[in-house]
Amino acid sequence: MKITFYGHASLSIEVGGKHIIVDPYISANPNAAHIDIDTLKADYILLTHAHGDHILDVEAIAKRTNAVIVSNAEIAGYYGAKGFQSHPMNHGGSWNFDFGKLKYVNAVHSSSFPDGSYGGNPGGFVIEGEHKNIYIAGDTALTMDMKLIPMRTKLDLAILPIGDNFTMDVEDAIIASDFLDCDKILGYHFDTFGYIEIDHEESIRKFFNKGKDLMLLEIGSSIDL
């Protein structure tokens, strides 16, 4: 499994020979100006919720790649009505895709489209694939529901928002990693806007002091699991 960070909460995941894009917000992110969305491969696009900083480039990527948009029923329906391929899910449900097993899990946040359309309730994803399991939290507060995830899935990596203001901060993300029983964390949802700027070294040190590994990737760089 290869995970590439495209800035903010945007990721690419290569798993089971498939390419998955998560929450693409790239073309308007000045920090990601070197990433060309027309070069991104996508068999699937996973959307945690409908906020503009998670869906901006969905239609451009889906139109070019014919990717299947996977999200909650309301978001899948929104794109389905526009003629895109979609797969609706809801909280607690899993589906066996050709890249692995995907579960849509709880997040504490909100989820309306920029045009005011109803975006259902926000979520995160657990991907079980190629003997490696990851959790993508989406935008969320720290929540006790995170304790449910390791009851079913032994995680190899948790991708957590750490920018504060709209989501968890670093301190809450450390508690989240305890709840998730996963000490390997990829941080996201930081630095894009003034509200969510973080001190990278201090954040990494705080995790390190608890015996945990916080990774912060340069935009466009990858990790292999």
Nearer to Ni ion, 43 or 139 (CB): 139
Q: Which stretch binds Ni ion (CB under 5 A): 19-27, 93-101, 135-143, 195-203?
A: 135-143
Residue nearest to Ni ion (CB): 51
Nearer to Ni ion, 188 or 207 (CB): 188
The dihedral formed by the CA atoms of 51, 125, 160 and 4, expressed in degrees to the nearest 10: -90
Residues 6 or more apart whose Cβ sits within 8 Å of residue 202: 170
Nearer to Mn ion, 47 or 204 (CB): 47
**Cα separation values, 175 from 95, 181, 183, 209, Å:** 29, 10, 10, 13
Nearer to Ni ion, 3 or 50 (CB): 50
* Residues numbered 47-66 forming contacts with Ni ion, rule: CB under 5 A: 51
> Total binding residues for Ni ion by CB under 5 A?
2
Nearest one of 166, 165, 175, 104 to 136, comparing CA atoms? 104
Q: How far apart are CA 49 and CA 74, in angstroms?
A: 10
Q: Determine if 139 is a binding residue for Ni ion (CB under 5 A).
A: yes
Q: Least CB distance from residue 41 to Mn ion, whole Å?
A: 24
Q: Which residues contact Mn ion (rule: CB under 5 A)?
A: 53, 139
Q: Least CB distance from residue 31 to Ni ion, whole Å?
A: 18
Q: Least CB distance from residue 167 to Ni ion, whole Å?
A: 8
Nearer to Ni ion, 108 or 225 (CB): 108
Q: What angle do CA 122, 83, 138 make, to 5 degrees?
A: 20
Q: How far apart are CA 4 and CA 62, in angstroms?
A: 18
Question: Which spans of this chain sit near Ni ion (rule: CB under 5 A)?
Answer: 51, 139
